[in-house]
């Protein structure tokens, strides 16, 4: 990793510098629907459907409202270029977006400004947020991040500590199964070329029960998994009972 890449990475103990450097190198392409993050652009509608539904249910909001989450706060940890932070802001959340990459945050800030969206973006790690006493937040998002950190247990416990009583954390990641090795690693990176080679390390994928065990030390109640699967005929993602590859876990602080 070069000196410039090291300067671009916020300090912290749970992050994996090599992964942060990899995403920093792609920072300018976050909002290109045909670029390296094209799979996330296709993935986003399914993720947003689940997030909106679960938040409406958790906080008793009107599902027909355009901005049902006015008055609630949300932090998107590992926000990248803001692909989730922006629509969540449009739904009414007061949004904080955090990423360990300065370059990602720069891209996110610029795009939000162009869209006229007031989002509080910060280049920081979860450890820094906890040390500074940030939050707490009504919603904490960990979307496709935990499989990229060096210490997933600490990362999840620190993230859960940012939750308000009554709040909800959503963890989205990849299951460590033979099917995920074939589809999410070999297929997506080397056959279909959906993702740059080396984006994922299959050994870092987590099983739902492993996430449940890690969070057992936090004052949260964990539910899930909720599966997400790609339908090649319809060219779209949908929610499913099958959590063998992509899935979400919900953690509630009662």
Known binding-site residues for S-adenosyl-L-methionine equal 47, 78, 99, 143
Q: What CA–CA distances, in Å, run from 230 to 45, 48, 174, 235, 239?
A: 12, 15, 13, 7, 9
The binding site comprises 47, 78, 99, 143
3-state secondary structure of 192: coil
Residues 6+ apart with CB under 8 A from 240: 227, 228, 229
Note whether 151 and 158 are within 8 A (CB).
no
Buried (b) or exposed (e) across 121-146, using 16+ Cβ within 10 A? Answer: bbbbbbbbbbeeebbebbbbbbbbbb
C-alpha span between 184 and 245 (Å, rounded): 7
Residue 214, H or E segment: helix 208-214
CA-wise closest residue to 138 among 53, 69, 219? 69
Residue 139, H or E segment: strand 137-143
Is the dihedral angle over the CA atoms 49, 51, 52, 54 positive or is it negative?
A: positive
């Amino acid at each position: 990793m070069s000196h410039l890449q090291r300067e671009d990475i916020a300090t912290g103990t749970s992050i994996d510098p090599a992964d942060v450097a990899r995403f920093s190198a792609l920072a300018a392409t976050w909002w290109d629907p045909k670029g390296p993050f094209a799979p996330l652009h296709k993935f986003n509608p399914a993720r947003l459907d689940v997030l909106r539904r679960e938040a409406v249910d958790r906080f008793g909001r009107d599902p027909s409202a355009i901005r049902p989450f006015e008055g609630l706060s949300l932090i998107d940890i590992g926000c990248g270029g803001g692909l989730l932070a922006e629509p969540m802001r449009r739904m009414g959340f007061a949004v904080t977006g955090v990423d360990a990459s300065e370059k990602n945050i720069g891209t996110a800030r610029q795009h939000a400004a162009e869209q006229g969206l007031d989002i509080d973006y910060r280049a920081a790690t979860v450890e820094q947020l906890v040390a500074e006493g940030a939050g707490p937040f009504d919603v904490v998002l960990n979307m496709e991040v935990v499989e990229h950190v060096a210490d997933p247990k600490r990362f999840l416990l620190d993230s859960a500590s940012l939750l308000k009583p009554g709040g909800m954390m959503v963890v989205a990641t990849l299951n460590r199964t033979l099917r995920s090795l074939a589809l999410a690693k070999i297929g997506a990176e080397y056959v279909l070329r959906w993702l740059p080679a080396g984006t994922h390390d299959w050994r870092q994928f987590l099983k739902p029960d492993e996430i449940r065990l890690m969070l057992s030390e936090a004052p949260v109640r964990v539910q899930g998994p909720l599966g997400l699967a790609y339908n090649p005929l319809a060219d779209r993602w949908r929610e499913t009972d099958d959590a063998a590859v992509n899935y979400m876990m919900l953690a509630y602080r009662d």
